[in-house]
Amino acid sequence: MPNRKHQRGVTLIEMMIAMVVSLVLVAGVGTVYFSSKRSYQVRDELSQMNEAGRAALETLRKHLEHAGYATPSKLPLGAYFFVNGDPNLAVQSCGGGKQNIKDPNDFNARSTRDAFNANGDAISVRFLGDNNLFLDAAGGALPDECRVGNAAGMDASLIYNAFHVDNDGSTRDANNRLVPILYALGSNVNNRQPVVNGIENIQFQYGIDTDGNGTADRFVNATNVGAANWESVVSIKVAILVRSLGDVLEANSVRTYNLLDATVTTPSDRYQRAVYTTTIQLRNVVDN
């Protein structure tokens, strides 16, 4: 009778070795998976931050550049910043029962100033509305009856734009924290309008032309411009602190950021932040 080879089972030691090898392989695959997932989340958050920063600065540039516009006829506009401490704005009536400002109290509360709230400064500018330029920063249109050439006086043709950072008291992120928002306020819209989410702080400095050559010789904050120098401002520096809308950092940390002449210290959290800056030339002012 031929010899038969006896079949042997797997020993306990061999089984344990196989299990250990399998666990190592699974752990390696898991590590790669979670690392890749985290890298994707970080890239996605950073991409959103860059887009928010770009959109915020572009909106500010577009509407703050309107400061000092006085129609092609170069009408005498006067002050083109509405500054904290100026006389309160009042509604100017035009023909047909129209008016140039929906709610002046909104602007009286958000005039140009440093440290408007915990989220930084506020800025408010004005310009004359005509058939070439009649929209405010919130998309509201100056009524035809109030535009230059139709209104009885130029005060009725003034359009105001204002910007600040705040929250709406209800919009929250995945961590249940209020989302900071850049707001625009237009004189022909009743309420402030959200522009970009994730803008946590905003700071402004103002370039003063001391020798009349159209170029800023020094930049100062609103407090140090001085009442007599606002009509010499030819440019605006802007710095914004943008915050991710989700956790990015691996551990909570407190960080400090410099925004122009301001130092902002963040709470201990895992949000990623970045500072974005630009300088806006007030071309209407220089050309006048």
Tell me the domain boundaries of the chain: 37-287
Beta bridge partners of 93: 99
Mean of the pLDDT values across residues 209-232?
Answer: 88
Average the pLDDT over 230-238 and give the result: 93
Question: What per-residue confidence (pLDDT) applies to 235?
Answer: 94
| pLDDT for position 4 | 53
**Secondary structure (DSSP) of 81-111:** B-BTTSPPP---B-GGG-BS-S-HHHHHTS-
Q: How high does pLDDT run on average in the chain? A: 85
Average pLDDT over residues 234-257: 90
Question: By the 8 A CB rule, do 68 and 284 touch?
Answer: yes
- Cα dihedral value 122, 123, 124, 127, nearest 10: -170
**Cβ-based burial of 20 (10 A; exposed 0-12, middle 13-18, buried ≥19):** exposed
Residue 256 clears pLDDT 90, i.e. is over it: yes
At 35 the pLDDT is 58
User: Residue 271 above 80 pLDDT?
Assistant: yes
Q: Are 273 and 241 within 8 A, CB to CB?
A: yes
pLDDT, tens digit, for every residue of 110-158?
899 999 999 999 999 999 989 999 999 999 999 999 898 888 788 888 9
Q: Which of 78, 62, 56 is nearest to 231 (CA)?
A: 78
> Which of 138-142, 190-194, 203-207 has the highest average model confidence (pLDDT)?
203-207
Return d(Cα 67, Cα 112) in angstroms, integer. 13
Pick the range with the lowest mean pLDDT from 17-31, 80-94, 102-116, 267-281.
17-31
The one-letter amino acid at 6: H
Does residue 41 or residue 248 have the better pLDDT?
248
- Sign of the alpha-carbon torsion through 94, 98, 100, 102: positive
Instruction: Give the model's pLDDT for residue 2.
Output: 52
The span from the CA of 92 to the CA of 104, in Å, is: 10
Q: How far apart are CA 245 and CA 271, in angstroms?
A: 7
Mean pLDDT within 3-7: 54
CB contact at 8 A, 188 and 142: yes
Evaluate if residue 18 carries a pLDDT over 80: no
Name the residue among 181, 156, 161 with its Cα closest to residue 170.
Answer: 181
Give the number of other Cβ atoms within 10 Å of residue 31's Cβ. Answer: 10
Report how far residue 47's alpha carbon sits from residue 215's, in angstroms, rounded to the nearest whole number: 34
Kindly tell me if the per-residue pLDDT of 41 is higher than 80. no
Percent of the chain with pLDDT over 70: 86
With contact defined as beta carbons under 8 Å apart, do 16 and 205 qualify?
no
> In the chain, which residue ranges form alpha helices assigned H by DSSP?
12-64, 104-108, 222-225, 283-287
pLDDT band at 206 (very low <50, low <70, confident <90, very high): very high
| Burial profile 240-269: b = 16 or more Cβ within 10 angstroms, e = fewer | bbbbbbbbbeeeeeeeebebbebebebeeb
Specify which residues 257 forms β-bridges with. 264
| Residue 1 confidence (pLDDT) | 47
